A and B are shown apart, each in its own frame.
Chain A
Amino acid sequence: SQQGEEDPQALSIQEGENATMNCSYKTSINNLQWYRQNSGRGLVHLILIRSNEREKHSGRLRVTLDTSKKSSSLLITASRAADTASYFCATDRGGSNYKLTFGKGTLLTVNP
């Protein structure tokens, strides 16, 4: 079963604009991560935010986490055509039965 659900499913913007993707999840989590996938290829880790953190930055990426609402957002500022990809959130609950559960992703298209 999917733990995270990304919203929107697809997003199309112009180069230079900001892109915001959201992720909601159902149960308590240990960590939340965001990954990127170029068409049909492997996933690349972008950022990890722990359940006791509220915001994290990495370059043009900003991730927020609201555990009370069980949601996270990924903001990409000043987008570029090369940012075109699918973006997935993934959550884990920690513990000995560790499992990273992915959502279905948001397909971001950045038009030049």
Chain B
Amino acid sequence: EAGVTQSPTHLIKTRGQQATLRCSPISGHTSVYWYQQALGLGLQFLLWYDEGEERNRGNFPPRFSGRQFPNYSSELNVNALELEDSALYLCASSLFTGELFFGEGSRLTVL
């Protein structure tokens, strides 16, 4: 069974640009979670999608947005990139609330 897959693995952007990160959950999982892991800050909750709807949002500005598609895959968009957006972005999926299954992450570097 395939795990959670994320793309791209690495992404380099410059300030002001937009970044799009993608996530495919484990087959059958309807919930997708996004986390930001910046150096020294631990994992910060970004977004939770379930059945195509945004269910909860962390304390991030509106330039962080996303969506979940009918096949439950998800996209995270970060607009007007700032240097401090450089981080590892982790996606996780679950069938019910409880154990999360994480992907390997997308490392975003903003120059």
Contacts and interface: CB of A to CB of B under 8 A. Distances in A.
> Interface size bucket, A side?
20 to 34
B88 interface: yes
Interface in B70-111: 88, 90, 92, 97-105, 107
B101 A45 contact: yes
Contacts of A40: 88, 105, 107
Contacts of A103: 42
Instruction: Indicate the member of B43, B45, B105 with the most A CB atoms within 10 Å.
Output: B43
Contacts of B107: 40
Contact of B48 (A1, A2, A98): A98
Interface in B49-70: 55-56, 58-59
Contacts, number: 57
A92 B55 CA distance: 15
30 contacts: A1-B59, A31-B98, A40-B88, A40-B105, A41-B105, A42-B102, A42-B103, A43-B43, A43-B92, A43-B100, A43-B102, A44-B102, A45-B99, A45-B101, A48-B98, A48-B99, A88-B43, A96-B55, A98-B48, A98-B55, A99-B56, A100-B33, A102-B35, A102-B42, A102-B45, A103-B42, A104-B40, A104-B41, A104-B42, A105-B42
Given A97-B55, A102-B43, 19 more contacts: A1-B59, A31-B98, A33-B98, A35-B100, A35-B102, A40-B88, A40-B107, A42-B102, A42-B105, A43-B43, A43-B90, A44-B102, A48-B98, A48-B99, A99-B45, A99-B48, A102-B35, A102-B42, A104-B41
